[in-house]
């Protein structure tokens, strides 16, 4: 769905012609290689210094940001949690877009499948980091307009057992809904089990190259 053409981010990345078309793409590389930067570029949260990024053959700069972010949804490593309760947070995308909201039964089903055993009226601010992470994943799964999920270390605050279960549910649901998933993860088991392609950012990282040259 994505193509990066002569994309450069000053002192960070240089990508001549890269296509991201596989169903599940694992973004790999050393710390500081630009993995999170790439996700932000794909969602137009950051802009390249030079070059073009295409989504479905259309330049990101030609797509209104609100429209793009309905189609390309990002879950950052530190999840964004809004004021209000769990239900408010699960439905925030529908509230902003005016879309028809799922019924409470669907919200409870999502929470159950994410092992988030909390009533819908629980204040979101009372949740732990891992619970907030699961809430963010549930929120994007409810967005029917989404075509791509960008996940930045989506299981970093979860223990191994919970992380394995949650990511299995998320990835299988995304595949059933025919969504593309592009993720950065430290959990190699997720990559091995679900990724259909991988992209190593070390080869595009200016920082890594400079370190190699100094050595």
Give the CATH number, domain containing residue 53.
Answer: 3.40.50.300
Across the range 129-146, mean pLDDT stands at 94
Mean of pLDDT over the chain: 93
Confidence of residue 144 (pLDDT cuts 50, 70, 90): confident
Q: E strand or H helix at 25, and its extent? A: strand 24-28
Sheet arrangement for strand 50-55: 13-20, 2-9, 50-55, 58-59
Domains: count for the chain: 1
Rounded Cα gap, residues 215 and 209, in angstroms? 10
The yes-or-no verdict on residue 210 having pLDDT over 80 is: no
Which comes out higher in pLDDT, residue 190 or 116?
A: 116
pLDDT tens, residue by residue, 13-58: 999 999 999 999 999 999 889 999 999 999 999 999 999 999 999 9
Q: Domain containing 188: what range? A: 2-214
pTM: 0.94
Across the range 74-84, mean pLDDT stands at 92
């Amino acid at each position: 769905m994505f193509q990066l053409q002569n994309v450069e981010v000053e002192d960070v990345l240089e990508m001549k012609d890269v296509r991201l078309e596989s169903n599940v793409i694992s973004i790999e590389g050393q710390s500081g290689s630009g993995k999170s930067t790439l996700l932000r570029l794909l969602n137009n949260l950051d802009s390249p210094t030079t070059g073009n990024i295409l989504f479905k053959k259309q330049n990101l700069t030609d797509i209104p940001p609100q429209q793009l972010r309905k189609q390309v949804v990002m879950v950052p490593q530190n999840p964004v949690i809004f004021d209000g309760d769990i239900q408010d947070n699960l439905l925030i995308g529908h509230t902003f877009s005016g879309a028809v909201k799922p019924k409470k039964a669907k919200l409870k089903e999502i929470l159950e499948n994410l092992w988030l055993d909390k009533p819908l009226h629980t204040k979101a601010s009372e949740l732990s980091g891992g619970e907030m992470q699961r809430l963010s994943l549930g929120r994007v799964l409810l967005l029917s307009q989404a075509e791509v999920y960008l996940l930045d270390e989506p299981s970093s605050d979860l223990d191994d057992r919970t992380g394995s279960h949650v990511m299995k549910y998320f990835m299988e649901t995304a595949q059933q809904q025919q969504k593309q998933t592009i993720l950065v993860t430290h959990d190699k088991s997720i990559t091995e089990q679900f990724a259909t392609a991988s992209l190593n950012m070390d080869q595009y990282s200016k920082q890594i190259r400079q370190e190699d040259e100094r050595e």
